[in-house]
Amino acid sequence: MPSSSSPSRTSWDETGKRSKRVWIWTTNKQVMTAAVERGWNTFVFPPHHRQLAQEWSYDVGFLNRTGLFCSVKDKIFRDIVFYELVLMLVKEESCVKLSAVNGEVLDEQNKRVATIFDVSNPEELEGLRPEDEQAENIVVNLLDWQVIPAENIIAAFQRSQKTVFAISNNTSEAQVFLEALEHGLDGIVMKIEDVEAVLELKAYFDRRKEESNLLSLTKATVTHIQVAGMGDRVCVDLCSLMKPGEGLLVGSFARGLFLVHSECLESNYIASRPFRVNAGPVHAYVAVPGNRTSYLSELKSGKEVIVVDQQGHQRIAIVGRVKIESRPLILVEAKIESDNQTISILLQNAETVALVCPPQGNTPTKTAIPVTSLKVGDEILLRIQGGARHTGIEIQEFIVEK
């Protein structure tokens, strides 16, 4: 979750890492309202708004009480009136009001809380000396925005004790700043006038938070194995490499997904392909971000899936390619101790296709079992969840799957 603390306070997320912080630079009332509703309470305003707000703030209550607010014609004045009204309404949210003035960000007591650096070329970026600045926060404004400068900023400030922000005009830019060179910057200043950007940013942070949560995986026992004939199976090739113990959650029934191992393990039959999961037939469900599922047949380049390991750690990966080919299939059925329901999956009947085993302490002796070696009584991992799905979203309704 993005940090909503004061501009000079460091906060930490659930994983012990420094939280990514967000300031909203706007004069749009809908953007302000949407940001507050989603947990962001630090706003940056242009200097003329600050000055006029101070001059006219004594009239805000009068205008609101008399209904004259709606008759005010001057746009700047109307913005100022609303600015004060919104901040009055969200006072209990500890809203932080900042102003951008002459390359600095000031708080309500005119104390400098950040220095803004405009950067338009590599020489200006290399010339930054953040440690010479007294302000705790540094805001970098890339006038000629590109991806490489974002990485250069990370490299330049990696040993700095400052909290480093970058100004972003949309969520795509913000994501690059927050993820560049894996660690990303400490925060972003979203300079926006569109509510949609707030919604997109919140969805992005929700996905980040989801990755930090452990998924609950359940041990299940294989009860039946059967060769099932030919079918169209899906190989999912990711833009990320997977390690031993990692794979995708796939299943014939939404109520239970099997952890299907990647092809990262060495084999006598074929070269290791640590980017691939031979996931199953086109009809099967696969776990995707947002606690949703998708059909394997719906995956394509650019889509996102959830990669999970034996302990339930999850991360988001991008699909680079999907291959659908006709191959011989095998049916695997399993049950868990607390439930008599049978959960099944169909997979390609091949030595390189495997199901992940439960960990044995911190150092599992066996990572996965190839389906060609699977026996009744073997233990594998399942993700148990609600059974009913509509367009991939879990819903509460009666359903029978068999």
Q: pLDDT digits over 46-55, tens only?
A: 765 555 444 4
C-alpha pair distances (Å), 33 with each of 2, 20, 77, 86, 247: 16, 21, 18, 8, 40
- Give the position of tokens 């990572």: 367
Q: Within a 10 A sphere around the Cβ of 86, how many other Cβ atoms?
A: 16
State mean pLDDT over 128-135: 63
DSSP 8-state symbol, 91 = G
> Average model confidence (pLDDT) for the chain?
78
| Range picked from 19-28, 75-84, 136-145 for highest mean pLDDT | 19-28
pLDDT of res. 49? 59
Q: Is 251 helix (H, G, I), strand (E, B) or coil?
A: strand
Q: For position 133, what pLDDT does the model report?
A: 59
Quick one: pLDDT band at residue 14, thresholds 50, 70, 90?
very low
Q: DSSP of 379-395, one letter per residue?
A: EEEEEE--S-EETTEE-
The pLDDT value recorded for residue 186 is 86
Q: CB-based burial of residue 2 (10 Å sphere; 0-12 exposed, 13-18 middle, 19+ buried)?
A: buried
Q: Where are the domains of the chain?
A: 21-212, 218-394
Give the separation between CA 159 and CA 48, rounded to whole angstroms: 36
Percent of the chain with pLDDT over 70: 72
Task: State which fold the 218-394 domain adopts.
Answer: Endonuclease - Pi-scei; Chain A, domain 1 (2.170.16)
In this prediction, residues 67-89 reach a mean pLDDT of 48
Please say if the pLDDT value at position 237 is more than 90: yes
Cβ neighbours of residue 51 under 8 Å, at least 6 residues apart?
none
Q: What is the pLDDT of residue 106?
A: 82
pTM attached to this predicted model: 0.63
Dihedrals φ, ψ of 136, to 5°? Answer: -70, -30
CATH architecture designation of domain 21-212: Alpha-Beta Barrel (3.20)
User: What's the pLDDT tens digit per position in 162-204?
Assistant: 788 888 988 888 888 888 766 788 889 999 988 999 998 998 8
Which of 72-81, 144-153, 166-175, 266-275 is the least confident region? 72-81
Mean pLDDT, residues 7-11 taken together? 44
With residue 295 as reference, give the H or E element that holds it.
strand 292-295
346 pLDDT above the threshold of 80: yes
Residue 216 · residue 285 · CB < 8 Å = no
Strand partners, 393: 390
User: Helix 147-157 vs helix 171-179: angle between axes, to the nearest 10 degrees?
Assistant: 40
Q: Which of 189, 204, 350 is nearest to 279 (CA)?
A: 350
pLDDT score at 73: 42
Looking at the predicted structure, is the pLDDT value of residue 148 above 50? yes
pLDDT digits (tens, 9 = 90+) for 80-130: 545 555 555 444 446 777 878 778 888 878 888 888 888 877 777 776 666
Residue at token pair 């439960």: 358
pLDDT band at 398; cut points 50, 70, 90? very low
